[in-house]
Amino acid sequence: MLITLPEVLTPDEVRQFRQHLDQADWQDGVNTAGSIARNVKQNQQLDDTQEPAISLGNHILRTLSRTPAFISAALPDRIYPPKFNRYAERETYGAHIDGSLMQIPGTNLTLRTDLSATLFLAAPDEYDGGELCIETQYGTQTIKLAAGDMVLYPSTSLHSVSPVTRGARVASFFWIQSMVRDSQQREMLFDLDSSVQKLTTELGASHPEVVNLSGIYHNLLRQWATPS
C-alpha cells in the first residue's frame, strides 16, 4: 500500500524548516550507509544527533501525532526519529531495500521497519530529477510531491532516488513499526476506517450502520494488533 498525505507541514512550517536546513552543515551520506548501500548512495545527510535535526524531527513527530490520516494508515507503534537528506546535482541513491531492524538512537529499543516515509521539503520546481521510484506489484511508481507532502510505502519495497540534474532535493525520511504487522490487514483496516469516516460525515456518528462498521473496525484491530 502506497499512500500520499498532503500538507503534513504547512507552507509556513516548510519555510521555517528550510531556513534551518539551508544553513545546516550537511555531511556525506555514505557515512551512514551499510556495506551494500554505500555502493549506490550518493547524497548528503544531517547529523541526527545534533541540531537542527533533533528539533525539526521532534516537530515532525508532534505533527504526525495530530494527523488522523497518518494514524489510520500507519497504526504506529514506534517511529524512528526523522532524519534529513539532500540531493544536489548528480547525486542519487540506487535501488535498495531498507534494513529490516533498526536500533532507536539513545534507547535499547529495536524497531521493525514496516513502513518507510519520505516528507518532501523542496518544491518540485526547485529541482529536476530526484524522483522517489518505488517498485510495486503494479509496476514502478514515481513520486515527486509538493513541499510539505509525505508518502508512506512498505519498507519491503525496492526503491531508489533518481539522479538530480538541477537544484537540490531536500527531504526528511524515517521508518515506522506498526501495531499491525501484516500489510494486507493494515490496508484493510485503513480502507475500512476511511469508509467509516466518510459515512460518519454523510450519515452522522449515531447512524446504526456507522456504529456497526465502527465496531467491526475495532474488533478487527483488537484481533490483529500486537503493540509492543
CATH number of the CATH domain containing 8: 2.60.120.620
CA 61 to chain centre: 11
CATH number of the CATH domain containing 217: 4.10.860
- Same domain, yes or no, for 107 and 199? no
- Same domain, yes or no, for 162 and 216? no
- Residue 2 confidence (pLDDT): 94
Model pLDDT for residues 63-115, shown as the tens digit of each residue: 999 999 999 999 999 999 999 999 999 999 999 999 999 999 999 999 999 99
With cut-offs at 50, 70 and 90, classify the pLDDT of residue 17: very high
Report the predicted TM-score, pTM, of the whole model to 2 decimal places: 0.95
Is pLDDT of 171 > 90?
yes
Task: Point out the domain boundary residue: 178, 199, 216.
Answer: 178
- Same domain, yes or no, for 86 and 191? no
59 annotated ligand-binding residue: no
Number of domains in the chain: 2
What one-letter code names the amino acid at 137? Q
What distance in Å separates the CA atoms of residue 133 and residue 69, rounded to the nearest whole number? Answer: 23
218 annotated ligand-binding residue: no
- Same domain, yes or no, for 152 and 41? yes
Residue 43 domain boundaries: 3-178
Using CB atoms within 10 Å of the CB of residue 73, give its burial: 0 to 12 exposed, 13 to 18 middle, 19+ buried.
buried
- Same domain, yes or no, for 166 and 189? no
86 annotated ligand-binding residue: no
Secondary structure letter of residue 14 according to DSSP: H
Is pLDDT of 195 > 80?
yes
98 annotated ligand-binding residue: yes
Strand partners, 85: 45, 171
Is pLDDT of 208 > 80?
yes
Q: Angle between the 53-64 and 11-21 helix axes, to the nearest 10 degrees?
A: 160
- Residue 220 confidence (pLDDT): 98
Is pLDDT of 31 > 80?
no
Mean pLDDT of the chain: 96
